[in-house]
């Protein structure tokens, strides 16, 4: 699709994407990656959290938008994925001080992160646990901080009310909850597999 390839990915991103594919791990689609870079740059996001590192595709997009003194905290439970992400970061010449890769389960790691400290939180792992990650993200964000939920349209199934499988229902419910949550201003952006955005009031 034209908009997905509007900002083409360079060789480093394409290799990170290949690493992810070799590990059987889906990555953020290019349209959403480009959007994440724009968002991180527009708000000078210095403190960013990513739930689900994968091989580092979304992380690279974010890091490219963040200021040089920003730090990305990214959580993944798979050692192989952390290793692949490290390779991707090294290949892009990312200063190791700009990334903090925390190994472990997100439901155990997120509660240890500091309240109201982060500019941007990207949720991109395990749709089953999105409700819990979104709640943690809202705790972590400073006022004016941005929540981004990847795969929020789940291959367009979320928009189709006849799709009632468990994951689709959970992801649809997360959108509905955020739409009615007075703590945020939400918007659904149909880039990639859907990026649900919500600014923390
Ligand atoms: C869809 S991939 C993330 C892709 C990455 N955000 C990107 O776009 O490049 C999901 C990742 O979340 C990790 N993951 C799944 N469940 C997790 C959990 N409970 N805690 C931490 N990481 C988890 C997987 O190991 C996988 O690397």
Q: Where are the domains of the chain?
A: 11-200
Produce one character per residue of 146-179: b if its CB has 16 or more CB atoms within 10 Å, e if not. Answer: bbbbbbbbbeebbeeeeeeeebbebbbebbeebe
Give the model confidence (pLDDT) of 72-91 as tens digits.
999 999 999 999 999 999 99
Does the predicted model carry a pTM greater than 0.90? yes
Superfamily of domain 11-200: Vaccinia Virus protein VP39 (3.40.50.150)
For residue 118, count other CB atoms closer than 10 A to its CB.
23
Give the model confidence (pLDDT) of 132-147 as tens digits.
999 999 999 999 999 9
Q: Tell me which residue has its CA closest to atom 18 in ligand 1.
A: 105
Q: Which structure tokens are listed for 94?
A: 């990312």
Regions of the chain short of the pLDDT cut 50: none
Q: Helices (DSSP H) in 23-162: which residue ranges?
A: 30-42, 57-65, 79-91, 106-109, 130-140
Cβ atoms of 170 and 184 within 8 Å: the answer is no
81 lines ligand 1 (CB under 6 A): yes
Complex ipTM more than 0.90, yes or no: yes
Q: Ligand 1 atom closest to Cα of 52?
A: 12
126 lines ligand 1 (CB under 6 A): yes
Give the pLDDT of residue 1. Answer: 84
């Amino acid at each position: 699709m034209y908009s997905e390839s509007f900002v083409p990915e360079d060789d480093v991103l394409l290799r990170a994407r290949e690493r992810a594919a070799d590990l059987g791990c889906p990555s953020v689609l290019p349209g959403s990656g480009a959007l994440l870079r724009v968002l991180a740059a527009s708000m000078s996001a210095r403190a960013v959290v990513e739930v689900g590192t994968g091989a580092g595709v979304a992380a690279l997009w974010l890091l490219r938008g963040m200021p040089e003194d920003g730090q990305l905290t990214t959580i993944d439970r798979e050692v192989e994925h952390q290793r692949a992400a490290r390779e991707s970061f090294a290949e892009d010449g990312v200063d190791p001080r700009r990334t903090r890769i925390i190994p472990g389960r997100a439901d155990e790691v997120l509660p240890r992160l500091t309240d109201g400290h982060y500019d941007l939180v990207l949720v991109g792992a395990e749709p089953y646990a999105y409700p819990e990650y979104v709640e943690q993200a809202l705790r972590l964000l400073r006022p004016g901080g941005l929540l981004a939920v990847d795969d929020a349209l789940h291959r367009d199934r979320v928009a189709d009310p006849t799709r009632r499988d468990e994951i689709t229902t959970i992801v649809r419910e997360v959108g509905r909850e955020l739409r009615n949550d007075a703590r945020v201003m939400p918007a659904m952006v149909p880039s990639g597999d859907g990026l649900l955005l919500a600014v923390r009031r």
